[in-house]
Homo-oligomer: A and B are copies of this chain.
Amino acid sequence: MLGNVIVGQSGGPTAVINSSLAGVYKTAKDLGAPKVYGMRFGIQGFLEKNIIDMDDKIRSELDIELLKRTPSAYLGSCRFKLPEILDNRALYEQIFSIFEEYQITAFFYIGGNDSMDTIKKLSDYAALISSPIRFVGVPKTIDNDLAVTDHTPGFGSAAKYIASVTKELIRDGLVYDINLITIIEIMGRNAGWLTSAAALAKCEDCEGADLIYLPETAFDIDAFLDKVAEKMQKKKAVVVAVSEGIKTADGKYVFEHGTHNEYVDAFGHKQLSGTATYLAGLCREKFDCKTRAIELATLQRCAGHLTSRVDITEAYQVGGTAVTAASNGETGKMVILKRVSTDPYICTTDLYDVHMIANIEKKVPLEWITEDGTNVSTELINYIRPLIQAELTPIMITGQPRHIVVDIDSLW
């Protein structure tokens, strides 16, 4: 039996983070929570008591469905890390006094490895003061860089989007009978999971990306140009997928290379240009042909119009599991996904000590990257493929995806 609960969203948004929110809300109501509170803008908004009663927002089953299919964090998000308990005990006292005011019995935080640090610290403090409030983390990140869990909700939909638009961009590149080098820049500063999703574009009807570069291995600019030259011996339209975070062996980001590679704005201030723009410029010089630099930008995390049903369902499940766990007295845990089988794909949820997950970044294992660092292995493709399966079509109204209404007024 649950008392009042509160839920927040933290870190970068995804296309399915609201499905986890829906899972938390629905299960909490089902388990008898009198109030399900939502904190606006994560723990940062919570500290300002920017707190709403979810019942005011979710009034029907249709609202739950709309919420599941609405991209980006419905409650708003933050990038805010709590200080160490010993460094600012007063802040923790403040937080727990707000819990008391709202008679909170369980706290759920939907986020990535930084956000799990919040669950860790709050549950540590609760232990310290013998508070019965339970703290459970709900995994979320397009980056798929959380430890222990097989994968993270949000990754599957981003991967599906990346694989699908890579296919479309490859097809677009075949239209003219000319040499064309397309560089697609994909999110992921330190972990190459998202970029490796470009490998899934390769199907019966598509040759796939020709070269794929992840940040896990050092990028060699000359070797890259040689590889492109090699590909151009065999075909006119070459497509390269790169992570925004690729670095050369000296630890410099690729986009920081070349002292002249600067975008100088109207006020004379230097701005670094993107990785794809830089590499496309190099290719244009070297091969004297048409090039395209495509940044998938924030679309890869907010494209609610093309989500994976597997992903959106698992996002809902981990939300529900978190509430059930808290109801069973669990605290200081994060919900994880456990893959039972890849083909047929079977996956369940479980709980894991959040101390073993917070602040740890899981990268692509080197054995899943080809030896020359220009592509990924079949194992990696087989790992990702089940996660992009099936669709949950948005509710389309007047030709566009319909989202649950955000109360804009409270945003400013």
Contact = CB atoms under 8 A, between A and B. Distances in A.
Interface of A: 13, 40-41, 44-45, 70-73, 76-79, 160, 163-165, 167-169, 171-172, 174-177, 200-201, 203-207, 234-237, 257-258, 260-269, 271, 273, 277-278, 281-282, 284-285, 292, 294-295, 297-299, 301-306, 308, 385, 388-391, 393, 396-406, 408, 411-412
A168 B177 CA distance: 35
Given A168-B299, A271-B281, 8 more contacts: A71-B168, A72-B175, A167-B401, A172-B302, A260-B267, A261-B264, A295-B295, A393-B393
A404 B205 contact: yes
Nearest to A77: B175
Contact of A265 (B234, B235, B258, B390): B258
Nearest to A263: B263
A412 B178 CA distance: 9
A2 to B, nearest CB: 28
B171 A302 contact: yes
Given A257-B266, A301-B172, A302-B168, A403 B281 contact: no
B263 A273 contact: yes
Given A292-B297, A388-B399, A399-B163, A306 B304 contact: no
8 contacts: A41-B176, A172-B301, A200-B400, A201-B400, A236-B412, A261-B265, A388-B400, A391-B396
Chain B CB within 10 Å, residue with most, of A71, A176, A268, A277 = A176
Contacts of A282: 265-266
A46 to B, nearest CB: 12
Contact of A285 (B265, B273, B278, B281): B265
Contacts of A401: 164, 167-168
A45 B260 contact: no
> Nearest 10 pairs between A and B by C-beta?
A258-B266, A265-B281, A388-B399, A172-B302, A41-B177, A168-B302, A72-B171, A389-B399, A260-B264, A72-B172
B174 A406 contact: yes
B177 A44 contact: yes
